[in-house]
Chain A
Amino acid sequence: MKRLNILVGALSIPLFVVAWEVIARSGIVNAVLFPPPSVVAVAVLEWVRSGQFFLDLGASLYRVVTGFVVGAALGIALGVLTGQFALVSSLLSPLFHILRPIPPIAFVPIVILWFGLSETGKLFLVVWGVFFTVWLSTHIGVQKVDRGLIRAAQMLGTPRRQMLQEIVLLGALPYIVVGLRTAISISFYTLVAAELAGAFAGIVYRIEIAQQNLQTGQVMGGLAALGLMSFVADRLFAAVAERTVWWR
């Protein structure tokens, strides 16, 4: 039974691809709008061979990685402050709670007004999306740090700074890691919005251009590339997270 499950699991994607190829070639559907996988593969190969793929990948990766790092750093720093200091929380939390539920994509129009089609605007969107998720999980994590650990650390003469940097931060780390993982998928959503709003390179930008030229194979290749990127990022993070919370 278990072996059967594994076998069927291994066949899942190949079966899907073969069915797709057969249906697309059968003439039941419009092959221009719904090209077979072989055509998609050729389009992707051409994309890679022209070198354009690497420029697009680089542009998208740069936006996602930079935006994620900046947003996460800000989220963790402010989350520790609002989680630890009631006064800072009173000042900032109401504001953050009002801004947080607005879908980051809704900021595209105003970001274009503010930053035009520059890289800054795209980074802003990704940072914005990542920040609130990481801030909230850090804030909650800091508040949930075991009071007993803090008291024990106080009794051992831990200075305030060390308390924040070590006890509070590591105590909250399991929560922060969960927030960071959610933020990875958010950074890809916001990347899509940022590149659709207008760009000069990028995976999503390439998808949009291909769509305008009715190169459906290229569109699908772009989608696959985006899915793969997001998948790899999530797996990579899961592997890192396992090591980050090493005491579990």
Chain B
Amino acid sequence: MARTIISVADLSIVFDTPQGQVIAVDRVTFSVAHGEFVCIVGPSGCGKSTVLNTIAGLETPYSGAVIVDGKPMQRPRPDVGMVFQQPHLFPWKSVRKNIAHGPRMLGKSRSEARAIADGLIEMIGLNRFADAYPHTLSGGMQQRVAIARALANQPRVLLMDEPFGALDAQTRSVMQDSLLELRDRIDATVVFVTHDIDEAILLADRVLIMSAGPGRILRDLGVDLPRPRSNAIMLDPAYLALKKDCLDLIRSEGRRAFDQSSAG
């Protein structure tokens, strides 16, 4: 097996709220190998974003540790990129300048940054919109720019938090296919959060299923479907079998959580 690039060890995250402490993530342990595409699925509020933010260095562990590329994560680092559910593009910058922002911040010259941006614009197919401002783009186009912007620093790890969650079904499946294509061309490890099982199986080498709060990892499921993949795979019997496994697991977990909460 390839070497480990992300290791999450015994990670717990606790938030202080006016109602007292909330355990958002409860002793989560997993690791991701270099080049792997891992999806994390789970019900709303189970702590998926919190785990991802901790890998990003935006949140600090309450206990346990997150190690990326041999170094513990304490604050955001340029070798770890992130795409959020909302594109969060800088509204005052054109598409090109948004993408060039990262390289500029890392000290690249204006022309170097521009060259990097233009390459990525080509890759996401938005050549005609290089000088457009974000508010003139559709949601799907904005999210493409956000992905390109995150890739501009050539991160070793790309984190994606429900990046297609706000898009309509049709745009989402187009974006999934282009992410699959993109992924073959970049050399990054991807951790992708979603609550859409189909999306997870379609994209991932491995699916981590989390339980309802406090979040724990319920199952670590390998996805042995051939690549290259596309949305067409969703009719494949092997795909359907995997999906059934996941759904059964989530359903029984949902029932257990429900029984527990009504008993307690």
Contacts and interface: CB of A to CB of B under 8 A. Distances in A.
Contacts of A170: 90, 92
Given A155-B76, A167-B90, A170-B90, 6 more contacts: A153-B101, A154-B58, A154-B76, A155-B58, A157-B153, A158-B101
Interface string B96-120: 0000011001100000000000000
Secondary structure at the A interface, as helix, strand, loop or mixed, is helix
A146 interface: yes
A146 B152 CA distance: 22
B84 A157 contact: no
Interface in B127-163: 133-135, 146, 149-150, 152-153
Given A156-B153, A157-B153, A162 B90 contact: no
A157 B90 contact: no
Interface in A129-162: 146, 148-149, 151-159, 162
B35 interface: no
A155 B84 CA distance: 11
Assign chain A's interface to a size class.
Answer: 10 to 19
A152 B133 contact: no
B150 A157 contact: no
Secondary structure at the B interface, as helix, strand, loop or mixed, is loop
Contacts of B92: 170, 173, 246-247
A152 B88 contact: yes
Given A156-B78, A170-B92, A247-B92, A151 B105 contact: no
Of A146, A157, A159, A162, most B-chain CB atoms within 10 Å: A157
A155 B152 CA distance: 12
B90 to A, nearest CB: 7
Contacts of B149: 152, 156
B56 A155 contact: yes
Interface in B54-93: 56, 58, 75-78, 80-82, 84, 86, 88-93
Interface in A148-206: 148-149, 151-159, 162, 167, 170, 173
Contacts of B133: 247
Contacts of B84: 148, 151-152
